[in-house]
A and B are shown apart, each in its own frame.
Chain A
Amino acid sequence: MTRMDTQNVETRIVGRSINRLDGPQKVTGSATYAYERAKMRQTLVGVFATATIGKGEIRELNTSAAETMPGVRLVITHRNAPQQGELNPETPGFAVRARPILAGTRIDHFGQPIALVVADTFENARDAAHAVVATYTSMPGSFAYVEGNNVTEPELANAGFPAFTQHGDFDAGYAGAAVKIDQTYETPPHFSQPLEPHATLARWEGEMLHITTSHQTIRYIGVSLKAALDIEPENLTISAPFVGGGFGSKLAVHADMMGAAIAAMMVNEPVKVCMTRQQMFSLLGMRPWQRQRVRLGADTAGRLVAIGHEALIYSNSRDPFLEQTGTVTRSLYSGANRMTRHRATHLDLTNGEPVRGPGELPGLLAVESAMDELAEALNMDPVELRALNDTMMDPESGVPLTGRSLTECLRTGADRFGWSQRPTRPRSRQEGQWLIGMGMASAIRMHFQGATDVEVAITPERRVAVRSDLTDIGTGSYTILAQFAAEVLGVSVSDVDIFLAHSSLPAGGGSGGSWGASNTTAALHDACLSLVQQAGVPAGDNFISQTLAKYPKGLSATGRLPASSQVPDWSEKSRHTYGAHFVELAVHRLTGEIRVRRMLGAFSAGRIINPKTARSQLLGGMIWGLSAALREAAEIDPRYGNIVNGDLAEYLLPVHADVPDVEVVLVDKPDLDANPVGVKGVGELGACGASAAFVNALYNACGVRVRHFPIKLASIFSHFPERH
């Protein structure tokens, strides 16, 4: 047996780059996603009609034409929709709130559902949805923050973090600092846009509701549906065996699930509802718009003496989500005088939600840009500035930082990237018409732990069965759990069957917040140790046969990881993952076009279970970072509140031609202070800080600092010295 609760990384299967077990199913199309679970004409299909004003009331809603169109079975509106539980802004977790649909005539945001057309085919339903005619009484809405808008200061940011923290005396520390940076950064709304659209197939069987859906966390669904539909958990089955990406947008219940459940109830037949790509820009939440002010004060040697990070964030007053943007600076660098603050402002838009690295992505974009400005003001190497301010103790709480390896990531990354060859001054390297620059940034991400149960069994069929309600959102959950079980039990990966993502399976925290792997492997480890102990035979090649010899009907064991709130000394340590990003890019000296040349990230996230799947997630995160810096923004027309660029042709995500070779360096070091198996998450770490490395490389290339994102051509060339 190889125990994972050691520093040993010389393991047999864990730590090896094995291919995804579900890879062949995915590439051959035999992995069936929620919408594909019922074939054409085996189920009715629902398509939403949506509001075409940003704020106001439905005056008249004419569905008579739609109702008589071919194949239409039912048109659901506020007039006939069943009573649902109300959306309660006091419910602290955004993911478990009731999210009623078609509940009244009030329009709170552009693109809100006003009707659900249920028909025999998608085409007929969509056609009829176009024929639903609404007239409105429009009211003036607030679709973009302007000075003077109401601003509040909630006590808590997302995930339960205090919104305001202070240590020492920030104002005095900053006032007395020898070198100061005071800059403001503005980031736009983003949408998650996973490849698989949100889709749900719902079927009622008496009081029982069966749901097949695309979701990150099974356990949240039951809580939300209980609040919305008053359905008891024992009357609900939920299945989500394949999920084509989530990125935060599949944590909460959305209109597809509510629509399918209500429609299936009303027509008493199975109904499936899938959002169109365009609807994914209005029926889901967004990463909220935010404006951050970062103040850094340092002594002449570069030691930070004051760090202030304040964020003004869009948070919907009816459905609040205050992104935890300022929390990234709390454990990032030393410095005696510190302050972080989150304030909220309401807009009449779809609600805020986690989108790929909530908090860290925009937060580090600002802070790590500011650190580059500070390094320049100090005339210091940006790597050295960060290393100088590294700390082994959490600067806010004073407790040890576990697995702290920021400087190791910085040094490893700098070495592998060739940072010493960088142009030290802006506009000092040119190749043909292109100005070449390099930039870097630190990465940090909070480590979370949630209550997780896992079952492992030896079955009479001579298989190892692992059971958990964890989802695989494309990350490799099936694969890494098989590796873990095989390692601990001494068997082969091919001996292991993984059963995931069903509400009948042992419950965990799902996939989200980068915690699926750490939670579930820790609980699985516990289950496997327990199984070996119960079996009374040694782990190894013969574990299955020897166990069955003693227990012919099979044997099972459960394992558990408690929630962090149940760990008595949780607050005695501060747990994070770390990394360092390096970027080389070229900027055209006339047009300002950016061509990224190289990206390298060095990361420390505890024990790496599968370098191949870990690398995929980390490099994906780095590309999200590129996207946030250089490409991505939801453009809102401030007159109407609609998303103007609401499709994937106009919402600019990076394309292949934007992304050069990406190198991921893994610092594989189990962090046994984080959890018993030393595993932390890699899902979002790659996106943390990455954006700032592009911003800083751009400055190094052409001498232009941009603090309004994403960076557009015009915000570059208009600052060029060449006049035209």
Chain B
Amino acid sequence: MKPFIYQRATSLQDAVAMLAARPDARVIAGGTNLLDLMKLQIEVPQHLVDLNNLGLDTIENIPGGGLRLGAMVRNTDLASNETVRRQYGVLTRAIVSGASGQIRNRATTAGNLMQRTRCPYFYGTAMACNKREPGSGCDARNGISANLAILGTSDACIATHPSDMAIAMRALDAEVRVLGAEGEYSIPIADFHRLPGDTPHIDTGLRSGEIITAVELPAPLGGTHVYRKVRERASYAFATVSVALVAQVDGANVAIERLAFGGLAAKPWRVEAAERRGSGTPEEIARDAAAIVLEGARPTERNRYKIDLAQRTLHAALIDAQEHSR
């Protein structure tokens, strides 16, 4: 770990000023990902601005029936919040499927969105990685790519975004509240994470000097909420495929209200055209929706199975929705 200057911001304005003064500064929240990356010198910030004393850790109702989730709300607190559990169940289920209890106690709403890929070639500093070192190439595409992206990839990068929380937020149409030099504004979660294109080193739409202050959820959708995460072990692993689903269940038939996939792309993968196409059996609906969502998939030989697995996972999630609503 390279030596760095560490400062605690005393107010949001203070934090923004610190970041403006030091273009190479990074914000630190829970530190569950950034510190690991600093030890490996994948991230080498000269300055860290700590937001842990700023509050930003409350969950509040907002006009119109939505919910404002403070940037520094710990994942454990977010998942266990009564309103979130009752009215945004897919979000609770997504969060508790990620990481471990210890990490969730520390990790924050904003930090979870900002975490970086777990592509092993991003971590393996001897390997070529355009995300870590722009222009160096991508050793993942022809490497051990079994758990990497099949959608929205580019020749430059096939990394996935590891967050579970963000997948549920995408299904819920969340907005990321950002404070910059010109004040606070919203970035729709759909636009927050970026596809790699030829600039895979830029993960998000957050600009230099900006700070996430909150995530806002629109009014509750109702419906049956499911987060179905499939991976090679039962816990403490990133998704191979995950499904965030809000469904309407009517006896043997189900309909998709909202649907986003994790584990398939550099951002939560949602194709609105696959939603609200009527009801049918889980198998019919899964086949229909998966065909739309997975169109244009560009797998490697090692991760081609994800196409089949994505449809199977959606099918399983729709059955789970039926069982939950019984």
The answer to whether A712 touches B313, judged by C-beta atoms less than 8 angstroms apart, is: no
Chain B residue numbers with a CB within 8 Å of A635 are: 120, 144
Task: Please tell me if A408 contacts chain B, counting CB pairs below 8 Å.
Answer: no
| Stretch of B15-23, B193-201, B205-213, B231-239 lying at the A interface | B231-239
A-contacting 9-mer, from B107-115, B121-129, B165-173: B121-129
CB interface residues, B 105-146, toward A, < 8 Å: 118, 120-121, 123-124, 126-127, 139, 142-144, 146
Check B126 against A631 for contact (C-beta < 8 Å). no
Inter-subunit contact A637/B144 (CB<8 Å): yes
Which residues of B (274-326) have their CB < 8 Å from a CB of A?
286-287, 290, 305, 308-309, 311-313, 315-316, 319, 323
Residues on A with C-beta less than 8 A from B120 are 635, 644-645, 650
Tell whether, in the assembled complex, residue B236 and residue A655 are in contact, meaning their CB atoms are under 8 Å apart. yes
Which B212-260 residues sit within 8 Å CB-CB of chain A?
Answer: 230, 232-237, 240
Whether, in the assembled complex, B41 has its beta carbon less than 8 Å from a beta carbon of chain A, the answer is yes
CB of A724 within 8 A of CB of B234, answer: no
Q: Closest Cβ of chain A: how far from B109's Cβ, in Å?
A: 22
- Alpha-carbon distance between A452 and B43 when the two chains are bound, in angstroms: 52
Question: How many chain B residues have a CB neighbour from A under 8 Å?
Answer: 39
Query: A99-119 toward B: CB 8 Å interface, digit per residue (1/0)?
Result: 000000000001000000000
* Interchain CB contact under 8 A, B144 and A645: yes
Are A631's CB and B305's CB within 8 A?
Answer: no
Closest-by-CB residue of B relative to A130 is B41
Roughly how many angstroms separate A98 CA and B268 CA in the complex, as a whole number?
A: 52
By the criterion CB–CB under 8 Å, are A724 and B308 in contact?
yes
- A713→B143 contact, CB < 8 A: no
In the complex the two chains form, is B287's CB within 8 Å of A724's CB?
yes
CB-CB under 8 A from A655, the residues of chain B are: 233-236
A27 at the interface (CB under 8 A from B): no
Does residue B1 face the partner (Cβ distance < 8 Å to A)?
A: yes
Query: Do B124 and A652 touch (CB < 8 A)?
Result: no
A309 to B43, CA, bound (A): 50
- Contact among A123, A591, A642 with B312 in the assembled complex (CB-CB below 8 Å): A591
Complex CA gap A631/B127 in Å reads 25
* B contact residues around A657 at 8 Å (CB): 233-236
Is A718 interfacial (CB-CB < 8 Å)?
Answer: yes
Q: Report if A718-B1 is in contact (Cβ < 8 Å); known contacts: A591-B312, A631-B232, A657-B234.
A: no
Q: Is A650's CB under 8 angstroms from B118's CB?
A: yes
Report whether A644 and B143 are in contact in the complex, using a CB–CB cutoff of 8 Å. yes
- Rounded to whole Å, the gap between the CB of A109 and the closest CB of chain B is 13
User: Across the interface, do B237 and A652 meet the contact criterion of CB distance under 8 Å?
Assistant: yes
Report whether B315 and A724 are in contact in the complex, using a CB–CB cutoff of 8 Å. yes
A446 at the interface (CB under 8 A from B): no
Complex contacts, A656 vs chain B, CB 8 Å: 235
* Selected contact of A717 from candidates B126, B236, B286, B309, CB within 8 Å: B309
Q: Are B126 and A52 in contact (CB under 8 A)?
A: yes
* Minimum CB distance partner of B228 in chain A: A591
Asked if A714 CB lies within 8 Å of chain B CBs, one says yes
Smallest Cβ-Cβ distance to B142: which chain A residue? A639
Question: Is A567's beta carbon under 8 Å from chain B?
Answer: no
Inter-chain contacts of B2 with A (CB < 8 A):
127
With beta carbons under 8 angstroms apart, the residue of B3, B126, B240, B316 that contacts A588 is B316
Given A52-B126, A130-B41, A724-B287, A718 contacting B305 (CB threshold 8 A): yes
Does B323 lie within 8 Å of A432, measured CB to CB? Answer: yes
In the assembled complex, the Cα of A495 lies from the Cα of B127 at a distance in Å of 58
How distant is the Cα of A567 from the Cα of B173 in the complex, in angstroms? Answer: 76
In the bound complex, residues from chain A placing their C-beta under 8 Å from that of B1 are 123, 126-127
B1-15 contacts to A, CB under 8 A, are 1-3
Q: Does A612 contact B (CB under 8 A)?
A: no
A637 touches B123 (CB 8 A): no
Interface residues in A177-208 by Cβ distance below 8 A to B read: none
Q: Are B118 and A649 in contact (CB under 8 A)?
A: yes
| Chain A residues in 8 Å Cβ range of B311 | 724
CA distance A593 to B315 in the complex (A): 14
Residues of B close to A630: CB separation below 8 A? 233
Indicate which residue in B127, B315, B316 contacts A642 across the interface (CB closer than 8 Å). B127
Is A591 within 8 A of B309, CB to CB?
yes
Q: Find chain B residues with CB under 8 A from A714 CB.
A: 305, 309
Does A533 sit at the interface, judged by CB under 8 A?
no
Which one, A432, A595, A644, A712, contacts B232 given CB within 8 A?
A: A712
Distance, CA A355 to CA B253, complexed state (A)? 51
Task: Specify which chain B residues have a CB less than 8 angstroms from the CB of A637 in the assembled complex.
Answer: 127, 139, 143-144
Q: How far is the CA of A123 from the CA of B139 in the complex (A)?
A: 29
Residues of chain A lying within 8 A (CB to CB) of residue B144? 635, 637, 644-645
A658 contacts chain B at the CB level, 8 A cutoff: yes
Known: A631-B233, A717-B308. A590 touches B316 (CB 8 A): yes
> What residues on A are CB-neighbors of B290 within 8 Å?
724
Contacts of B127 in A (CB 8 A): 637, 640, 642
Which A residues lie within 8 Å of B240 (CB)?
A: 713
6 interchain residue pairs of minimum CB distance = A52-B126, A714-B305, A657-B235, A657-B234, A590-B312, A644-B144
Interface residues of A (CB under 8 A from B): 52-53, 70, 110, 123, 126-127, 130, 278, 432-433, 588, 590-593, 595, 630-631, 635, 637, 639-640, 642, 644-647, 649-650, 652, 654-658, 712-714, 717-718, 724
Q: Can you add 15 more A-B contacts, CB < 8 Å, to A591-B230, A714-B309?
A: A53-B126, A590-B315, A630-B233, A637-B127, A637-B139, A639-B139, A642-B127, A647-B123, A650-B118, A655-B233, A655-B236, A657-B233, A657-B234, A714-B305, A718-B308
Q: List 13 A-B contacts (CB under 8 A).
A: A110-B126, A432-B323, A590-B313, A590-B316, A591-B309, A637-B127, A637-B144, A639-B143, A652-B233, A652-B237, A657-B235, A717-B308, A724-B312
Q: Which residues of B contact A (CB under 8 A)?
A: 1-3, 39-41, 118, 120-121, 123-124, 126-127, 139, 142-144, 146, 230, 232-237, 240, 286-287, 290, 305, 308-309, 311-313, 315-316, 319, 323
